[in-house]
Chain A
Amino acid sequence: MWIGLALIILLLFVSVYGAFIGAARAQSFIKRLPLMVYWSAFLMMLIAALAVFRRLVRVPGLLLMHLGCVFILAGSMWASESGHKFQKKLFGIDKITTGQMIIHEGHSDNCVILKDNKQIKELMELKELPFSVELKDFQIEYYKPAYLYVQTRDGQGWKIPVETGAEFPLGPELGTVKILRTFENFKITIKEGSRTIIDDPQPGFNPALEVQITSPDGQVTTKYVFERFGGHSHTEDKFLLSYRRVISDYISRLRIIEDERIAAEKDIEVNHPLSFGGYHFYQHSYDAEAGQYTVLMVVSNTGLAVVYAGYWMLCIGVFWHMWLRHIVAIKIKTYNKTVTLSAAKSLLSCSKQ
């Protein structure tokens, strides 16, 4: 059992070390051989403990807890990159562990960019899914209202809800601010020498505000404030203006096409992935320049059911062992007490008669 305690302490130190080096390095660290050996040793130790210590099997809470950990470890190892390679070698199951798909609106694709090589485009390794994923539409939704932030050089600031036509006073020394127009895709077109500002319906993404500033002496200036290119100001400007919207949701409207027919359909969002054909599809990223494509993360579901079964066992085991069995014991004790008490009472009343 002391080996078990030593393994737990070792994992504790590994976790703290992993936290110091950041998620990306920790992820590659745990894939290294010593850690693989460690996971296997931990798993074997748990199984050995279950075989050796009879109490671990006889006490249901302890059994569920330890067996739950066995399931979680075994499921994660089965689901890992090496687990997938092992399954390919042994059973010929060739599944993508994890990767990404870039799909343009109105197009379908079945190519998955394998995760490991995503930084080096020339070496990008592609693999095909046995079905295609079509992106009907990609949408970004924002919280309403959006805000215009106004800041003076001496640090005074205002947060103004964006409402076209509404005038906002900044005080007697600074004048007023009024939002005249909002743009989803701000563009300047030059036709026959004259400049026009339009909200371009063509693909593109350049949200902006047209803002009118009226100084206390009646002088009117018009400014354009861009969401994506904020923070610029001239030395003569009294204010620094910025336009900020908070994203409330990303939605990819997806369709799965298999054998030229629609096999599944779902609008995926963060927290609402699509599950199909042994894979999960997650909203991962998007085209920040023009909102024209979505980036999906594709993850194999191999081993997931085993891990979740382990989670259930662990939780039920811990709650049973530390909470419920004591509550049940107290309930039985009080029930027995009342039964004995009432039996004694009836005995007493019988003997009186």
Chain B
Amino acid sequence: MIEVNNVSKEFKVYTRPSGFINTVKSAFWREHKIKRAVTNICFNIEPGELVGYVGPNGAGKSTTIKMLSGILTPSAGDIRVLGIVPYKQRMKNAKNIGVVFGQRSQLYWDLPVRDSFVLHEKMYDIPKPIFKDNVKLFTEILQMEEFIDQPVRQLSLGQKMRANLAIALLHNPPVIYLDEPTVGLDIVAKAAIREFIKEINKMQKTTVIITTHDMTDIEEICQRLILIDKGQLYYDGDLHFFKQQYGGDYVITIQVKSNSINPQHPMLSVVEKEANRIVIKGNSAELSLVDAIDFYNRNYEIIDIGIKESSIESILRDIYTGSIQMQQ
């Protein structure tokens, strides 16, 4: 459904001129460097997939989304979204996609949200019954009743973002791109947005690509993870597999009835130890979590147990800072 083959994007980055002559000249020509924002990226996405597209700031996420939505033309490689080349057939592509940029708004400042919706109805030629149903449904799931008739300039960030999400989906696009849709929002707004994305995906088999720095978004919404850094693809695959392969660390706190814990498993290391309580650390590549617990369960009578697995967040932090090495 979405095919990205060997796509790269370069930008010319200009230096600021100084002096009058240079300023005049600089309107037409300036010293520049080539900045590679995205390098040789490939992936394929099937209908209905929920894909998390993550990477540190400046990794090239937004640039990729912009190429997928037809805003930017790739410097090399080719992209097809439902068989369409986005930057060549922009208008046709626009009908198939919904885009939300967390940093920008699609709404019209002076208009009430409802009027912005009507504008989209005309623009996308949405059939009346579909439009009505969608407005009703979205208003409900995103809890927009209280502000749908207010001018956009009076809305809070969270309200605006909900309205932006709704407007991007009014025409039932088979594909949506969400670029940091939860940035700066409170927990309630975030939860509403996650709920909405999952609901729409379930109802309409909408394909979703989402970028975010909040790993809870990814864990709650996505099945698949694509990781890029410095414009290059580092991981593309199942989210659980990613956790197992790169995380897999776990910490178990066990409290037992007897007064001394002695036998130790060679694959587990002890973090802390008291008379009847032990904190151990393991990695599922060496010994699965279940086996680790089973080992203690066979030898002791466990009264309490606490488990902490490494989160996507902690794995990514380790990757970004270089303490986990990945091969491309």
Q: Answer yes or no: do A and B interact.
A: no
A-binding residues in B (CB < 8 A): none
